[in-house]
Structure 1
């Protein structure tokens, strides 16, 4: 690192491999999606509805967190934040916030669709951003195997909601 009166210059080596901590912190938060979807399907009545609601709230929290990750990464992008980074962050935040509002207003289906779109965007856009230098290189490998866990669980919830 070199620092002068005008600022700081960082030289960073970023591995393409997914760090073990990113695997743990990447897949750990996906487990409540799977458990919640399974519980919503298998539990009847109030416990099943509670599992559905808690899973959707978890999804909102994770999507809002990931929107912040996108913004945080943009602070370290060479040349400053790109339009794509800011647009992606805003889209993810809007979808997470919209899903949260939908849960509060009792529209689980709307919340689920917002979350499906948000996590789908991450699955598609993060690998592209990684190749463009707008996200960590490891996102190109991690996101395509991480996000389908959330997407499959949310799709199962949407099927459950459509049957109700």
Structure 2
């Protein structure tokens, strides 16, 4: 690292492999989606509805976290934040917050649809961002296998809620 009166220059080596902590933190948030979806289908009644609500709220929290991750990474992008990084961050935030509002208003199906859109965007856009130097390289490997767990779980909840 070089520091002078005009700023700081960082030189880093970023591995393509997913670090162990990245595996733990990447897949750690996924079991609540699967468990919540399974509980929603198997419990029925008020416990099943509670599982739907908690799973959707979990999905909102994690998607809003991903929005913050995108913004945080943009602070260290060579040349500064890109329009794509800011647009992605804002899009994920709007989807996550919109889903949170939908849960609060009792619109579980709409919340699930917004979350599915958000997690699908992460699955597609993070690998592209990784190749462009706008996200960690390991996102290109992690996101395509991480996000389907959330997407499938949320889709199962959407089907359940849409069935009434």
TM-score range relative to shorter protein = over 0.9
2:136 corresponds to 1:136: yes
Whole-angstrom CA distance in 2 between matches of 1:134 and 1:141: 15
Whole-angstrom CA distance in 1 between matches of 2:38 and 2:83: 39
Matches within 5 A, 1:71-150: 71-150=71-150
1:29 aligned counterpart, secondary structure: coil
Whole-angstrom CA distance in 1 between matches of 2:148 and 2:8: 38
2:55 aligned counterpart, secondary structure: helix
1:143 is displaced (CA, Å) by: 0.1
RMSD, aligned α-carbons: 0.4
Size of the aligned set, in residue pairs, is 164
2:29 aligned counterpart, secondary structure: helix
Listed as ranges, the gaps of 5+ residues in structure 2 are none
Query: Which position in structure 2 is the counterpart of 1:158?
Result: 158
TM-score of the aligned structures, taking structure 1 as reference length: 0.99
Listed as ranges, the gaps of 5+ residues in structure 1 are none
Whole-angstrom CA distance in 1 between matches of 2:112 and 2:51: 13
| Runs of 4+ in structure 1 over 3 Å off | none
